[in-house]
Chains A and B, each alone.
Chain A
């Protein structure tokens, strides 16, 4: 039987592929950036999905999950910690790409990546 984690993971991978496809075929810088955001989301979903465990709960200790039986009750907290970092870094890169797109548009009056090929060979 397919678990929730596997479904989420599959969805994540599909998002990554969709994002990659967009980034490879869209020539408009902004569309490429959007495509990358989709791919990033996919990556993050995969990250979270890997840590998921059936029938367990979030790794927060409270009345429902006392510290003593946390080992048996919570899911793996590490991917959750990692995904936080990944999200933030992805966001930094996206912001940077947007700024570049803005500036490139101001400089070249186009957003077509195929027209930014002065440097080559």
Chain B
């Protein structure tokens, strides 16, 4: 094993060697640089392998043939090996990405580069405080110099100014650092970090006081290198002006090294200094994320994000008193996620010609680069299966276990803001107009990005394995459904039909493999998710070509759904929840105009997911594992809080009123075959969550409020408002989307009744809603596809041209509206029975009111699209494509079958529910179903309705037998064209009178509320960033003020 010392000597030797080369031998110099960096990486990698594979203790490296503390010593252990590997590899790949610039600037620039990378490794390795200072100064000087690398191509003096500002600030920092070091030496008699850590606690009286002052100066100086808010204006200017390949090093490697230095310092200072680290860290995390919101320059944005992440990790280091042995796993997971992702993003930035965020739309033609971008932002956001996810899970749980709820909340809030601007950026990439400049895909630059991508996934695997070893959880990357979904990334170049077949086969195979595991309740969801999913996928056969990116996203969502119903503990459940969220986000984003809607979808979903995470963490209370069934054992005062968090989290997914504003856009703007997936299938995940919650936790008393009653009310109001909003839509798909909100309200209401029939009805809704909403979205989607519009008043009279779509819609709305004879009526019947057994009378009235409203919008759907007059421009419209019609016909068949024999499914559920709600079940005798209020015989009803319908139909035909047929388009009319022609159409603003009467209920209060929240956040960020005036002197003021404020507050509260 090569001594880690040679990381330093090799770099120095190579740097000094540069002077012996001729100025012209630039290729050779560059070769030496790369070989040296590779050699340094190899040394680190060797050590990392040693420490990871064997149980070796950290190795001390002595210098000068003398033992510490009398001579400087270095140390390499697992953390040091990993960090130096990170630093050296970042150095290596950044050098590659910098090839052109380094070659142009010559050997001196390469020497500085080598020294910079070496100095960062030195910061990590050294165990001597003053030596740490030397390496830090080396880093400062090298940084100031390397900022100028961009000056070579831009030559606008910006980098020069940024470098000067940095030097100004660093002068203050180094003065504090030196004074701190000398006084710390004076009080402890040593410069050795471990020696000082041993000596410091023994100090007493004035010496202890003097030491803590000195330590404060050292600590604050090193923390200042982490760019804490607000003393970080200089860093942002560096990020903005420097060459992105340097910024990659600055963000990933410098940040990592400085964090490790803080970690060493905390060893000296002890637990008393942890709160200060946490405070500075978390404020920086929130503030930097907030300030990132209004940024439009990609590099500055990444700079803010880097600062935020560093702040988060600092806060985590400050929690080491409760994280204990897991600090390395958690802080390391966050740090490596941040470093790899940020380096990757900065390298990507080097491929983009312009600095606006929209300019990144140039990536769109490059699937691999898009995949890299997605991987990086998911990594930063802490989504599974990346290391940050595991780290976040353990962190939040440990925090909740110790009752540090405020910090927990702030971390999740900051993470949500960060997800906001990162996913907004991804939306720009996918949807904004691509700039004229193409991506610079020079091989040496792309290699760096690919390396980061590979590292991202390799780290995920490693963190998964560690999670198996340390926490006995699963390695997500080895979970079969997820692997299956990821396989589609590799299969992306295949034609769509082949992938579609594979996807359907996969879903069915998974069902076959697992169906024995499900109890009747889960079976319903399994059937909807897997069988239903493959049915919906039939419609995807209509797509031609490759359909790049569709299958990985769709299968990711289905993987999440499949894992959700098999999850038994909170970890598995949450993983599945995040996977299905992310997958569906990518799916929704595929719609033509879905950019803002997909964003609000992912934000609401992640917000909900964070609440769920917090709920689980609170429930777990530090236990290593927590079964979902154990939720039932929770008691006051914890239980209602857990219930509240989880319930709100799940209701975000079911789009309960107030949290519903993401749904209409997301469902309506999605592609034709995606709408049924996200509406018919995905919404059920939220209901599934609520069912799990209510089954285990049931009634909870929250300061005297029965939470289940609140949910009952929310369900009722959601049903009413959802339906009301639906009737005023002009857009057919939005109408359906709003109707989903209403339907979910019904289901929630049923669950919240907490009795046998209520649940039966909710489950009936689950099934019915899947069938008819998928069907309606497909038929309306098919119509929209053929007519090119979704505005209902533009259509009309399509019944003869698209008869099959008409039949599907007709059957669908009969089913939805709950009139006999179809399954919807069964739902209603159970429902009314259920209500009669419950005490809640007022919400009951509301829910009754919602019924007829549903009929209004459904009527409009069929009346204005398929009936009435055909428009001239649609005379040649054809029936929807075969593959879109086929699943609709299957749904029609299902609806008819279920209508006749509802017992097929419901009987099993009914008897299963007896275990939870023993009273008030139904009695199944033959084809008759009896409740305590009456009986229902679906077959008889079907026959009666059929007879009535046939009789009336026959009579109608008879009466109209002599009616004269008129062609529609032989009417000549002349008139002025009104200013807005649609206003004269009968189908426009169809329910104007109702709007007059009930419009006040549809005021977009929720939308206003949420947009005010986001506006406020933006404005806050925008105002706060004015604070960074760009003046180097002001930044120096900031730094001094920061130091003094921390001094006054921090030292004041310290013992």
Contacts and interface: CB of A to CB of B under 8 A. Distances in A.
Interface of A: 16, 20, 23-24, 27, 29, 32, 36, 39-40, 43, 46-47, 50, 78-79, 82, 85-86, 89-90, 92-93, 96-97, 100-101, 103-104, 107-108, 113-114, 116-121
Interface string B1013-1041: 00000000000011011111100110010
B109 to A, nearest CB: 15
A55 B237 CA distance: 51
B164 interface: yes
Nearest to A103: B160
B220 to A, nearest CB: 15
A12 B1000 CA distance: 73
A104 B148 CA distance: 12
Given A119-B1030, A121-B1025, A121-B1030, 15 more contacts: A29-B164, A36-B171, A40-B175, A50-B185, A86-B178, A93-B170, A93-B171, A101-B164, A104-B160, A107-B160, A116-B164, A116-B1030, A118-B158, A119-B241, A120-B233
Contacts of B1031: 113-114, 116-117
A47 B185 CA distance: 10
The 7 nearest A-B residue pairs measured at CB: A120-B1030, A117-B1030, A107-B157, A116-B161, A119-B237, A121-B1025, A100-B164
Contacts of A24: 1033, 1036-1037, 1040
B158 A119 contact: yes
A90 B171 CA distance: 9
Contacts of A114: 1031, 1033
Interface residues of B, number: 47
Contact of A100 (B167, B1025, B1040): B167
B356 to A, nearest CB: 15
B141 A43 contact: no
Nearest to A37: B171
B172 interface: yes
B183 interface: yes
Contacts of B160: 100, 103-104, 107
B137 interface: yes
B162 interface: yes
B1033 A113 contact: yes
A89 B134 contact: yes
B191 interface: yes
A120 B1029 contact: yes
B481 to A, nearest CB: 45
B130 A104 contact: no
B137 A93 contact: yes
A119 B303 CA distance: 13
Interface string B138-164: 001100110000000000111011111
B171 A39 contact: yes
A22 to B, nearest CB: 11
A79 B130 contact: no
5 contacts: A82-B181, A86-B178, A93-B174, A100-B167, A120-B1028
A54 to B, nearest CB: 15
B868 to A, nearest CB: 56
Interface in B923-982: none
Interface of B: 130, 134, 137, 140-141, 144-145, 156-158, 160-165, 167-168, 170-172, 174-175, 178-179, 181-183, 185-186, 191, 233, 236-237, 240-241, 1025-1026, 1028-1033, 1036-1037, 1040
A78 B167 CA distance: 27
Contacts of B181: 82
Contacts of A43: 175, 178-179
A92 to B, nearest CB: 6
A121 to B, nearest CB: 4
A96 B1025 contact: no
Contacts of B144: 96, 100
Nearest to B233: A120
Contacts of A86: 178
Given A40-B175, A100-B164, A104-B160, A50 B134 contact: no
Contacts of A100: 144, 160, 163-164, 167
B1030 A27 contact: no
Nearest to A90: B174
B902 to A, nearest CB: 63
Nearest to A13: B179
B178 A104 contact: no
Contacts of A85: 130, 134
B701 to A, nearest CB: 50
Contacts of B1025: 121
A23 B171 contact: yes
Nearest to B159: A119
Given A20-B172, A117-B1029, A119-B240, A50 B182 contact: yes
A30 to B, nearest CB: 12
A32 B164 CA distance: 11
Given A78-B185, A117-B1030, A32 B161 contact: no
A40 B175 CA distance: 7
A97 B170 CA distance: 11
B1036 to A, nearest CB: 6
Given A43-B178, A78-B191, A113-B1033, A119 B162 contact: yes
A93 B167 contact: yes
A95 to B, nearest CB: 10
A96 B141 contact: yes
Contacts of A92: 137, 141
A79 B240 CA distance: 39
Contacts of B1028: 120-121
Contacts of A97: 164, 167
Nearest to B70: A78
Given A92-B141, A93-B137, A16 B164 contact: no
> Which of B165, B175, B1037: most chain A CB closer than 10 A?
B175
Contact of B185 (A16, A79, A103, A120): A79
A113 B1032 contact: yes
B1036 A50 contact: no
Contact of B175 (A27, A39, A96, A116): A39
Nearest to A12: B179
Nearest to B1033: A113
A23 B1030 contact: no
Contacts of B168: 23, 32, 36, 113
B303 to A, nearest CB: 11
Contacts of B163: 100
Nearest to B175: A43
A36 to B, nearest CB: 5
B175 A118 contact: no
A63 B802 CA distance: 113
B175 A16 contact: yes
> Which of B137, B160, B182, B1029: most chain A CB closer than 10 A?
B182
B218 to A, nearest CB: 14
A27 B164 CA distance: 13
Nearest to A117: B1030
A95 B1036 CA distance: 20
A120 B191 CA distance: 39
A50 B186 contact: yes
B55 to A, nearest CB: 37
> Which of A32, A108, A120: most chain B CB closer than 10 A?
A120
A114 B185 CA distance: 39
Nearest to B162: A119
Contacts of A103: 160
Nearest to A16: B175
B1033 A108 contact: no
A82 B130 contact: yes
A121 B160 CA distance: 18
B108 to A, nearest CB: 13
A104 B141 contact: no
A82 B160 CA distance: 31
B59 to A, nearest CB: 26
Nearest to A95: B141
B145 A96 contact: yes
Contacts of A40: 171, 175
A16 B962 CA distance: 108
